[in-house]
Homo-oligomer: A and B are copies of this chain.
Amino acid sequence: MSTADAPDAATFDVASIAADFPILGERIHGHRLVFLDSAASSQRPRSVLDAMDRYYETTHSNVHRAAYTLAERATNAMEAGRTTVARFIGAADASEIVFTKNATEALNLVARSWGAAHLGEGDAIVLSVLEHHANIVPWLQLQQTHGFEIRWIGVGDDGLLDLSDLDQLLRGSKLLSVTAMSNVIGTMPPLAELVERAHAAGALVCIDACQSVPHLPTDVRALDADFVAFSGHKMCGPTGIGVLWARRELLETMPPFLGGGGMILDVRLDGFVPAEVPHKFEAGTPPIAEIVGLAAAIDYLDAIGMDRVRAHEVELNEYALRTLPARFGDDLRIYGSHDAELRGGVMSFAFCDIHPHDLSQVLDEHGVCVRPGHHCAKPLMRVLGVGATARASWYLYNDAADIDALGDALDAARSFFSI
């Protein structure tokens, strides 16, 4: 990214940021696009698209194992991307960054490699009911063959984790795997405390950081976690790229997951020798252009500053939590904590008994994109006592006018269904 693309460091100028994102100029049913679904997938600035185009137009070839200039350029571009990711999350070394296709694959890798090697009858792991299916289903699948126990941290009416019996849950468990930020109600569990108590109980800690890495400063070493997973497409990067970070010593002890080219030192008819980390976990041709795109996205976010991104989202939280309940009273029910500082920029709500899908359909008619559904968190839906919620989520390119547009569209939906 050229620095010309970077917003002024002194102010958070949403308009100039939004201008970097071509799609935000789209019109939907004659209205400007009010994109409030970044928790599902964010949009990309032009610098990310340019970086990928430039890669394909000047650099591409398959990586590693080749001596010619183009292959060396491609390898350098990929490994520079690894270094960028490592720096962004505070990893000790670039070799601790494993590239996957998405966070889901990263979490499956933890389950199938570390989990399959360490979990069996008599063992236990701890999850929370806040979790996304990506941090539940891999463990349920592994449980079918490995027969360990899964214990669940519950959630209270305030949307926060119920930690009253945490020590009991952790006792004798081998892993705590928990989200850094709920993609449904924005809850941010107290990670420092969780990591400390889990480690004290002898359990490793896996963090599903899909919603936090795009929105908050991240320092995996300060966090002292063991595994951290996230996806590129939620942080201004392309689809098709995810990341697993783990401490190097841990990665080194883990068996490979997917098998194929690039992850071996030797293959014979009767066996194989895995390569070093991180390559051991990267079978096949990697998502090279996507790594380049992710690195460009990180450059973009870094130039703005993750602390400022977070501060901006907290401001939007405050604005939404102040103006929308004032406007709609009991017609609007916002799930989770009502403290702007305690939540991510994601707001699930119920409105006037209108089914979330119907609501989203009517909002779309006004250019407002909110996502209806279970948000891949059915266990949490059961706790909330609903089948689905409508969810609005914001990011660095959203502003108060977008939240006003959401309010206006909600008004229109209320009259449309004459409820």
- Residues of A that sit less than 8 Å from B by CB: 22-23, 26, 28-29, 33, 35, 37, 40-41, 43-44, 49, 52-53, 56-62, 65-71, 100-105, 107-108, 111, 129, 132-134, 136-138, 140-141, 150, 152, 231, 233, 238-242, 256, 258-264, 266-272, 283-290, 357, 360-361, 363-364, 368-373, 376, 378-379, 382
Contact = CB atoms under 8 A, between A and B. Distances in A.
A132 B263 CA distance: 13
Chain A binding surface SS class: mixed
Contacts of A65: 371, 373
Contacts of A52: 49, 52
A71 B259 contact: no
Nearest to A57: B22
Contacts of A287: 101, 239-240, 287, 290
Contacts of A23: 56-60
A41 B61 contact: yes
Contacts of A242: 284
Nearest to A132: B261
Contact of A71 (B43, B258, B369): B369
Contact of A44 (B56, B241, B264): B56
B286 A239 contact: yes
A285 B104 contact: yes
A241 B101 CA distance: 9
Given A41-B60, A240-B240, A290-B239, A261 B105 contact: no
Given A57-B49, A260-B137, A37 B378 contact: no
B40 A66 contact: yes
Contact of A264 (B58, B137, B233): B137
19 contacts: A22-B57, A37-B62, A37-B66, A40-B62, A43-B60, A44-B60, A52-B52, A53-B53, A61-B369, A66-B372, A67-B361, A67-B372, A68-B360, A68-B361, A68-B364, A133-B259, A134-B260, A239-B290, A240-B241
